[in-house]
Amino acid sequence: MQVGVELPGREVHVKVWRARVGHVSLLLLDTDVDGNSEADRAIAHRLYGGDRRTRIEQEIVLGVGGGHDLSLPAIAALSATLGVPLGGVNLDAHLDVREKVGSGMPFRRLIEGRRLEPRRFVELGLGRFVNDERDLEWLRAQGGTVVHAEAIFERGLDAHAALDLAAAEGPAFVSIDLDALDQSIAPGVSAPNPLGLSLRDAAKLAEAAGARREVQHFDLMEFNPSYDVDGHTARAAALLFLHFVAGFQGRAA
């Protein structure tokens, strides 16, 4: 199957390969297909190589890191491949359902494009003063579930309840925006959070996501190395990834 990924001034064709690794399906993306220019065919030849532009193009196609807007093409491609809208859990201080194009808009675009089923979309850890009331009303009107950080402080983060809702009717994704974490843990983000969640809460969600077969996309977003302090954010992100892998190991068994 092929899907299209929009890059500046053009659309890149991406072939989706499906491989079986034990009991797990692995989706692989390849840009070396007819219809792409020679430069675009080479995007997926070698990861983490080339100049800055090549790295950005790889991130857009492969969904690796960067601004939260990069979740959009990766999740949309997965939904197109599977032929169904996804459910999802977003751990984030921000709703990311703005109308304006940018890193604050991916989930609105996914909902409007019917790639995300809003009744199965859960937003966890939202900041009380950093979201537009109109965006909050819009998401609730679509049927989305909203859990503010204060509720998690009081009652804890129920990762399994969020995943149960997201995966109730089919495949789902989990996205962790590192600015959901307290700035003492994750200073290396574009919008540091002075009253964020604990690393323990995020790790609980990451490991639970790894263990769920319905979760077919997982990302860690908004890490900005130029703002990091003594590698705190990098280590936190690495730990969250390890928790996801630990959960995934149990899934594959």
pLDDT in tens, 103-155: 799 999 999 999 999 999 999 999 999 999 999 999 999 999 999 999 999 99
| pLDDT of 62 above 50 | no
| pLDDT of 213 above 60 | yes
What are the pLDDT digits (tens) for 28-44? 778 888 999 988 888 77
| pLDDT of 11 above 50 | yes
Between 23-27, 61-65, 142-146, 232-236, the lowest mean confidence (pLDDT) is in 61-65
Q: For position 36, what pLDDT does the model report?
A: 92
* Every domain of the chain and the residues it spans: 1-62, 63-252
| pLDDT of 190 above 70 | yes
Tell me the mean pLDDT in the region 155-184.
97
Percent of the chain with pLDDT over 90: 58
| pLDDT of 231 above 70 | yes
The more confident residue out of 1 and 228 is 228
| pLDDT of 253 above 80 | no
Query: What's the fold here for domain 63-252?
Result: Arginase; Chain A (3.40.800)
SS (H, E, C) the chain: CEEEEEECCEEEEEEEEEEEECCEEEEEEECCCCCCCHHHHCCCCCCCCCCHHHHHHHHHHHCCCCCHHHHHHHHHHHHHHHCCCEEEEEECCCCCCCCCCCCCCHHHHHHHCCCEEEEEEEEEEECCCCCCHHHHHHHHHHCCEEEEHHHHHHHCCCHHHHHHHHCCCCCEEEEEEHHHECCCCCCCECCCCCCCECHHHHHHHHHHHHHCCCEEEEEEECECHHHCCCCHHHHHHHHHHHHHHHHHHHHHC
